[in-house]
Structure 1
Amino acid sequence: MIAPNQWFDDFQKNMSDLLSKTPAADIERNVKALMAQTFARMDLITREEFDVQTDLLARALERVEALEARVQALEQQLDKTE
């Protein structure tokens, strides 16, 4: 008697062999190529690039807030001297 894991492995191998010999394999390759081409035209970015830009934006916003507070303090000093 064949062990259940061996039977599943054999079944998977047989199905893979069968699918590789059918038009389904060609269709899969064509769909993958079409999707890759479409994604290339969409000008997408990677998750790492997105995270870097998010981090840069957060730091820029912090700097803007600090500069706004500084300008407000300077304006208050100017109002006191006038």
Structure 2
Amino acid sequence: MLDPKKLEELAKQIADAVPPGVRNMAEGAESKVKQILQAQLSRLDVVTREEFDIQSQVLIRTREKLEALESRMAELEAQLETGKPKS
């Protein structure tokens, strides 16, 4: 989910943009705007920053392993071509 602080700030900005007369008529406009924003944003297909960072680290480790395997495979292929193991 999105950062609650940022969501609150956005809700406050929207509530502050509402003219004072209208704001006074609608009690709790800020919390209602926040609820609507949360509902709409939850429908979006997004991930949190934490989830993104975790997946980035997984990808980095996977790339490192792939590079190591490619290097090892190249060594083994070279050994097959020369006919003797590298020691």
* TM-score, reference length from structure 1: 0.62
Structure-2 separation of matches of 1:23 and 1:73: 76
Tell me the distance in 2 between the aligned counterparts of 1:23 and 1:36: 23
What are the residue-to-residue correspondences of 1:1-82 with 2, within 5 Å? 22-23=24-25, 25-81=27-83
Counting matched residue pairs gives 64
Structure 2 unaligned regions, length at least 5: 1-19
Which deviations, in whole Å up to 9, do the C-alpha atoms of 1:49-73 show, x marking residues without a partner?
Answer: 1111111110000000000001111
Give the letter aligned to residue 53 of structure 2: D
Letter in 2 for 1:60: T
Percent identity, please.
Answer: 39
**What CA distance in whole angstroms lies between the structure 2 residues aligned with 1:23 and 1:67?**
67
Q: CA RMSD in A?
A: 2.6
Q: Which amino acid aligns with 2:62?
A: A
Aligned-partner Cα distance in 2 for 1:57–1:33: 35
More helix by share: 1
Structure-2 separation of matches of 1:75 and 1:25 = 74
Q: Which has the higher contact order (CA 8 A, sep 6+)?
A: 2
| TM superposition score normalised by structure 2 | 0.59
Distance across 1 between alignment mates of 2:27 and 2:67: 56
